């Protein structure tokens, strides 16, 4: 029987195979992904911590239930994020809950990453504060907010985002480009509006 340290050195896919023989091994996958999934759900769906915890718990239950159907050609993390995405969509559809704002730390991080990938200052002619970034992100269509979170906050590659959202890679590229444009356009509009009211 491997030690806890040896389990930690195993790949996700090795742990999946081991879990099929011993359900206790699934706890190591849960420990590996619990904080990551909580962060993803909070950032993408702007939810309260209690709601995010419920969603993540439901995600792990579903992952364990359907572990036999996991396609080993995919990354386990992409498969698990997809389950969390579906659990969150289902949760909010049932609860009809109103999301909260994305926190300032995430706002600053997403602004920094978008800015490095896109000449934000040149495009907007302004510097955005964390509060304005939160407002812009809240304004964005959820499909644009989610691709920005997955790419710039969760550091997912295009293929992983494609697997999570179940959309072709070309569509992911298009969504990201549109998301950045919408982000910049709304940032410009918001800034102009603020300048007019000062």
At 33, which CATH number? 1.10.1740.10
Do residue 37 and residue 113 come from a single domain?
no
Do residue 46 and residue 117 come from a single domain?
no
Which among 90, 96, 84, 99 has a CA at the least distance from the CA of 39? Answer: 84
* Structure tokens belonging to residue 30: 């849960």
What one-character DSSP code corresponds to residue 10?
S
Do residue 118 and residue 190 come from a single domain?
yes
Which among 58, 40, 35 has a CA at the least distance from the CA of 156? Answer: 40
Angle, alpha carbons 120-46-56 (nearest 5°): 125
Please say which residue of 71, 95, 119 terminates a domain: 95
Do residue 130 and residue 58 come from a single domain?
no
Do residue 13 and residue 67 come from a single domain?
yes
Distance in angstroms (rounded) separating the CA atoms of residues 193 and 198: 9
Do residue 67 and residue 90 come from a single domain?
yes
Q: Which domain holds residue 158?
A: 104-197
Do residue 80 and residue 125 come from a single domain?
no
Do residue 87 and residue 149 come from a single domain?
no
Instruction: Render each residue's pLDDT in the chain as its tens digit; 198 residues.
Output: 788 888 889 999 999 999 999 999 999 999 999 999 998 988 787 677 888 999 999 999 999 999 999 988 889 999 999 999 999 988 877 766 544 445 555 555 665 666 555 554 444 444 555 566 667 777 788 888 889 888 887 889 999 999 999 999 999 999 999 998 888 787 777 654 544 444
pLDDT on residue 175: 94
Contacts 24+ apart (CB under 8 A), 117-125: 117/152, 117/180, 118/180, 118/184, 120/184, 120/187, 123/184, 123/188, 124/184, 124/187, 124/188, 124/191, 125/188, 125/191
CATH number where 134 lies: 1.10.10.10
Do residue 12 and residue 41 come from a single domain?
yes
């Amino acid at each position: 029987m491997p030690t806890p340290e040896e389990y930690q050195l195993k790949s996700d896919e090795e742990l999946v195979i081991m879990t099929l023989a011993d359900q206790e091994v699934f706890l190591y996958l849960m420990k590996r992904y619990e904080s990551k999934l909580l962060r993803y759900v909070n950032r993408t769906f702007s939810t309260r911590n209690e709601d995010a915890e419920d969603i993540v718990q439901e995600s792990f239950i579903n992952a364990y239930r359907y572990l036999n159907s996991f396609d080993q050609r995919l990354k386990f993390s992409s498969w698990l994020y997809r389950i969390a995405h579906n659990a969150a969509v289902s949760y909010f559809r049932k609860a009809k809950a109103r999301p909260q704002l994305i926190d300032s730390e995430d706002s600053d991080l997403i602004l920094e990453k978008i800015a490095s990938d896109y000449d934000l200052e040149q495009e907007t002619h302004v510097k955005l504060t964390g509060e304005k970034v939160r407002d812009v992100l809240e304004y964005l269509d959820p499909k644009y907010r989610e691709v920005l979170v997955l790419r710039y906050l969760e550091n997912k590659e295009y293929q992983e985002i494609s697997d999570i959202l179940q959309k072709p890679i070309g569509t992911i590229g298009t969504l990201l480009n549109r998301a950045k444009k919408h982000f910049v356009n709304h940032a410009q509009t918001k800034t102009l509006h603020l300048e007019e009211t000062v």
